[in-house]
Amino acid sequence: MVRQECTVENGHCVTGNGDCMTGNGKCAMINSDGLALVSPIDVSDMPSEAVGIDGVWYDVTQFKKIHPGGPIIDQYIGKDASTVFRAFNHDPAFLKRVKQVGRYKMAQHACDADFEKLRQYFTERGFFETDYVWYVMKAFVAMSWFIAGVTAVLAFDNFYIHMLGAVLIAFFFQQSGFIMHDCMHKTMTRQRIKDQFIGTFFGTVGFGMSSHWWHDEHIIHHIVTNAIDVTTKFVDPQMWELSWAQNEKLFPLFSGIFQYLCIKIQHITFVPFVVAIGRYEILTDSYRVERRWYEWIAIVLHWTWMIALLSQLPSWRERAIFYVILACVEGLFHFQLILSHYCKAFITMDEFHQVSWNAFQVLSNMNLHTYKFMDWYYGGLNFHIEHHLYPKMARKHLRTAGPYVKAVCEKHGIDYEMLSFVDALKKTLSHMKRVGAAYKYQSG
């Protein structure tokens, strides 16, 4: 890493990508990916387990035990969490109930002020408010897919119509997943208990995976997107798979001949693995670690209606084909989220806390270019950059927010990437092939 001189105009660094302002006329260190870093916060005088917000240390020794976001708060002990705190629309009044234990000097990035202004602008326009009519329509659409799929099985004796029913149920899974996503982000009723109940209904009873498990992993994914700490073997949980490595920074976490072979051919296995075993993986991963009794009640309810539906088919062969088709069609839907991250920047945890959180959300995400009428299919999450910058924003507003976010990125020289689905898939496969070719065998 090197430190370089920069040009300052009106208090802002305009050297390079414009995202390296430290306030003293010097650019931060530049890492191997070209990301501007600021000097780490001096924590030598921090008297306890504290998290920094807007220049103030707050003691979270007791609070972290009940933190709604789980253990991810540990990643911010001795770190500044100001941007993340605001990104998730946390109530500043909460801080009045937390003990202040000191102060620190914040290091600002030029782009952060503009992204904060955007957040305030979006708030004024009502982008963080709930449109209950819109959600009623989304729930109606999801249940319509379900009713159509069940009808195809119960009302007809034709094999091909039964298989069409499998496709219809897969679309029910997709739309239920989007509703669950919003509820676990607490963007439907904006009340935790109500949203989690609705999310459990659509996500666990409907889709079949543990919604709370998904929430636990997804909140980490949002806060430390594409981040890695090799020493503690920490990885953004939604970017970790045993069978492939999306980035060279992940290499130290792999070893042995099996993983070596998997990584070498990952560009070949990527598509069939996602389609064929994507649903199996996400369900079994959630079941393996889930311990909450209410989630298991919901899981039992899911398999009760699923088995009851399968039992109406005339043979075990047809039941097996039905579920394979259902699972593979649902597996296709996973691509829209995977493609948003796999070929984008990864970063170490040490560097993560020195870069602009906002800038890295843009650099670690990709949007999918689609026609507006296709937003129902992608759930609006084709504007994934906007979703990661403002995770509490209602999905229906993500497309509208896009041009504003892009303008800020252009102002600060941040690469705002939007590709078609096909081009995003091509880029991801090419990236996976290049990374796989660079991997060297490491003994276990």
Examine the domain organization and report whether 378 and 438 are in the same domain. yes
Angle of helix 159-184 relative to helix 211-223, nearest 10 degrees, comes to 60
Examine the domain organization and report whether 333 and 436 are in the same domain. yes
Residue 189 lies in a domain: yes
Residue 3 lies in a domain: no
Split into its structural domains, the chain has a count of 2
Examine the domain organization and report whether 221 and 353 are in the same domain. yes
* Helix ranges (DSSP H) in 108-158: 110-124, 132-154
Residue span of the structural domain in which 414 resides: 111-444
What secondary structure letter does DSSP report for 440? -
Examine the domain organization and report whether 44 and 179 are in the same domain. no
Examine the domain organization and report whether 303 and 442 are in the same domain. yes
Residue 2 lies in a domain: no
- CA 330 to chain CA centroid, Å, is 18
Examine the domain organization and report whether 55 and 128 are in the same domain. no
Average per-residue pLDDT in the chain? 89
Residue 400 lies in a domain: yes
Examine the domain organization and report whether 197 and 67 are in the same domain. no
What secondary structure letter does DSSP report for 16? T
Examine the domain organization and report whether 160 and 99 are in the same domain. no
Residue 276 lies in a domain: yes
Lookup: tokens for 3: 């430190």
Examine the domain organization and report whether 70 and 130 are in the same domain. no
Last residue of a domain, one of 110, 130, 160: 110
Residue 79 lies in a domain: yes
Last residue of a domain, one of 78, 93, 110: 110
Examine the domain organization and report whether 76 and 127 are in the same domain. no
Last residue of a domain, one of 84, 110, 136: 110
How confident is the model at residue 28, as a pLDDT? 42
Examine the domain organization and report whether 124 and 73 are in the same domain. no
How confident is the model at residue 47, as a pLDDT? 60
CA pseudo-torsion sign 93, 96, 98, 101: positive
Examine the domain organization and report whether 158 and 45 are in the same domain. no
CATH number at residue 99: 3.10.120.10
**CB contact at 8 A, 153 and 165:** yes
Residue 405 lies in a domain: yes
Residue 404 lies in a domain: yes
Query: What residues in the chain have per-residue pLDDT under 70?
Result: 1-47, 444
